[in-house]
Structure 1
């Protein structure tokens, strides 16, 4: 194998590890429509691939507009032992999940259903900003 090929393979391997290294762990819950008004955008319709940030990532409203890639990693309770779909979803923060929020990120119902069975209600996740 040539030197250039070895370098390209090495860089690819490092980049794949970097995305894993920066993943945060938390939990996701979901909320149902209507999704307006929101803390970030008022009555603007932001679509359905959206989320509300808990205090853990809200950052005094600086989280507004940030996008996160989220993947379910497992159940938080015995109700649905294998809730994850194996897919990930990218959402944009448009709202605030106030103190006492039961998840790190409160996804729209549509976004949650991409990564997990709605019957689970709450799942463990890995997420990172994109």
Structure 2
């Protein structure tokens, strides 16, 4: 009985997190410093830049997001790996940014084929 309750609880939490994921667009970049949040201090490679939609005058700096590829946005069919990546927001996506979250190359590569360049994503803080 106890195992059944545990399994049920895990499934409910998983479904709850999926239900509250926000759709967006993901791209990648390769030059990580300096960043708008941390200057020339390296923050590793599982990082991302936030679009104006998320930036909120820098209040998103240091926040952790879970990002999953949900599909193609261009001619590359089936770019998604089926994995989710956890990234820390360290930068502000420059003006004209085509994405909601601009992932580091390493983070993008975990969830999608980099050849795609741009993908549909779901993200949760």
Normalised TM-score (structure 1): 0.88
Cα distance in structure 2, aligned partners of 1:100 and 1:85: 27
Residue equivalent to 1:123: 119
Residue equivalent to 1:92: 88
* Partner of residue 77 from structure 2, selected from 68, 81, 99: 81
Cα distance in structure 2, aligned partners of 1:96 and 1:56: 10
Normalised TM-score (structure 2): 0.92
* Partner of residue 41 from structure 1, selected from 38, 43, 52: 38
* Partner of residue 26 from structure 1, selected from 3, 24, 48: 24
Q: Which segments of structure 1 move beyond 6 Å, counting only runs of 4 or more?
A: none
Task: Give CA deviations for 1:69-95 in whole Å, capped at 9, x if unaligned.
Answer: 1110110011x1111111111000000
Q: Which has the larger radius of gyration?
A: 1
Runs of 5+ unmatched residues, structure 2: none
CA shift, 1:56, in A, is: 1.3
